[in-house]
Amino acid sequence: MKLWEKGKVSLDKRVERFTVGKDIFFDQSLVLYDCLGSIAHAKMLQKIGVLKAAEFKKLKKELVAIIELDKKGKFKLEQHDEDVHSKVENHLTKKLGDLGKKIHTGRSRNDQVLVDLRLYSKRQLQLIIESLLDLCTTLVKLAQKNRLVPMPGYTHMRQAMPSSIGLWVASFAESLLDDLHLLWCTYELNNQNPLGSAAGYGVALPIDRNLTTKLLGFSKLQNNVLYVQSGRGKFESLILSALLQISVDLGRFATDLILFSSPEFNFVRLPEEFCTGSSMMPQKQNPDVLELIRGKSAMMQGYFLQILNVVSGMYSGYHRDLQLTKEPLMQGLALEKECLEIFALVIGKLKVNKGPAAKACRIELFATDKAIDLARKGLPFRDAYRVIAESKFEFVADPVENIKKKRHLGATGNLALYKLLDRIAEHRKKLRKEKSLFERKMKALADL
């Protein structure tokens, strides 16, 4: 029987299939967090006198047993279970009788699902931040190694000014580190305890929300019980909007790599084991991996919009439409992690073709620098510009010396990569702290 069935009419099977849909598949990843959330809730019920200490102990033992079953793949959700929350409660009732029926006192599946999703997102965000930092580290290394390798800098996809492999690669590292700020910001918003909001209107029990905040390791309590419910979808879309920035960066970098690794450019080479072939054209070595990264960046925009569209214009409070935000959230988190890992793999093995990259630098690239040289000698820049334009570019230039000569902050001769390394180290420190706090709290719940 469903948690909400009153024993008279049971749900039409076709409607059940439709309303449950793929949701139980996604709920399967929430079993752990649903049980941990239930332990925290039960402990709080004990503290306010709704459960006796012995009752809490039995419930906790059974919830820990479910976690173990789930680890072994033996707690499988099925359509008739409706969702993870119902499955867990029904299991407790089967094992513990009336005691199982007590655990839902003072809570709703509406705040339960929020607890599950926030803990789940928190963990996934930690893993994503870790992968992002690994990628940035690999990028900085590549930039450092190739800081003196010249390549043309383009504007309008025409050769513009001299650049370096180091400048190009480090630009993406710096951009990704900026994205990380957005990610931490959504991490913090997501780090608020929704438990105790019940169905969105609180409950006439002295629910101790500070206690569950502490037990579940949230950094603070999300105060207004109705806002907690309206936060569903909002937080998810915020997380995806941060992930989106990362995806866009990866997609653009992938595009550059596709171009610069093509035989016509040949500035870099993808390792052969990362390239796929053509079923018909024997000569082909294709950068499918990069094309899929770019394509997945487009998918991410779709996930983000799916969530935003579900919630915008929605009335206050819980509505079942919200269930549909689970899929794009989870898919988006998984996609980002996968892309970051694959990208780091590709970058780690990328070969820079110094010769072709330097040889591609045509003499015209140095025209602006030559004009600047004249300007430094006192000629007004506009006149220097004309002198060089009329010179038919008959001058010589040393591309490596050119890189070294641009010494101001952030330019080719002064990439200040140490700044990026400092930022990476700072983020790693913060991440280590967050991860260990989370792991400690989750473990403590099972040991309570």
Catalytic residue numbers read 156, 278
213 to 242, contacts with ligand ARG by CB under 6 A?
none
Shortest distance in whole angstroms from residue 28 CB to ligand ARG:
12
- Total binding residues toward ligand ARG, as defined by CB under 6 A: 10
Shortest distance in whole angstroms from residue 318 CB to ligand ARG:
6
The gap from C-alpha 320 to its chain's centroid, in whole angstroms, comes to: 25
Long-range contacts: 12-15, Cβ < 8 Å, 24+? none
Q: Among residues 55, 83, 179, 256, which is the contact residue for ligand ARG, using CB under 6 A?
A: 83
Shortest distance in whole angstroms from residue 123 CB to ligand ARG:
18
150 vs 200, beta carbon nearer ligand ARG: 200
Shortest distance in whole angstroms from residue 200 CB to ligand ARG:
10
Token pair 């105790």 is found at: 196
7 to 46, contacts with ligand ARG by CB under 6 A?
23
183 to 212, contacts with ligand ARG by CB under 6 A?
none
304: alpha, beta or left? (left if phi > 0; alpha if psi -120 to 50):
alpha
**Half-sphere exposure of residue 190: CA atoms within 13 angstroms, side-chain side:** 26
Shortest distance in whole angstroms from residue 86 CB to ligand ARG:
9
Q: Does 77 bind ligand ARG (CB under 6 A)?
A: no
Q: Does 91 bind ligand ARG (CB under 6 A)?
A: no
Side chain identity, residue 226: L
**Half-sphere exposure of residue 116: CA atoms within 13 angstroms, side-chain side:** 25
Shortest distance in whole angstroms from residue 408 CB to ligand ARG:
53
Stretch in the footprint of ligand ARG (CB under 6 A) among 44-52, 317-325, 377-385, 413-421: 317-325
322 vs 344, beta carbon nearer ligand ARG: 322
Q: List the one residue out of 65, 114, 59, 112 whose CA is nearest residue 85.
A: 112
Stretch in the footprint of ligand ARG (CB under 6 A) among 36-44, 268-276, 316-324, 423-431: 316-324
Give dist(CA 327, CA 316) in Å, integer.
21
Give dist(CA 41, CA 189) in Å, integer.
21
Q: Does 89 bind ligand ARG (CB under 6 A)?
A: no
User: In this structure, is the dihedral angle defined by the CA atoms of residues 94, 96, 102 and 107, taken in order, positive or negative?
Assistant: negative
Stretch in the footprint of ligand ARG (CB under 6 A) among 256-264, 288-296, 307-315, 321-329: 321-329
23 vs 336, beta carbon nearer ligand ARG: 23
> How many of the other CB atoms lie within 10 Å of CB of 411?
14
Stretch in the footprint of ligand ARG (CB under 6 A) among 173-181, 294-302, 315-323, 327-335: 315-323
Shortest-Cβ-distance residue relative to ligand ARG: 323
Q: Does 249 bind ligand ARG (CB under 6 A)?
A: no
Kind plus residue range of the DSSP H or E element containing 99? helix 98-102
Q: Does 322 bind ligand ARG (CB under 6 A)?
A: yes
104 to 133, contacts with ligand ARG by CB under 6 A?
109-110, 113
Give dist(CA 52, CA 93) in Å, integer.
17
Give dist(CA 281, CA 264) in Å, integer.
18
Q: What is the DSSP string of 309-356?
A: HHHTTPPSS--GGGGGGHHHHHHHHHHHHHHHHHHHHHHHH-EE-HHH
Shortest distance in whole angstroms from residue 326 CB to ligand ARG:
6
Q: Which residues bind ligand ARG (CB under 6 A)?
A: 23, 83, 109-110, 113, 318, 320, 322-323, 326
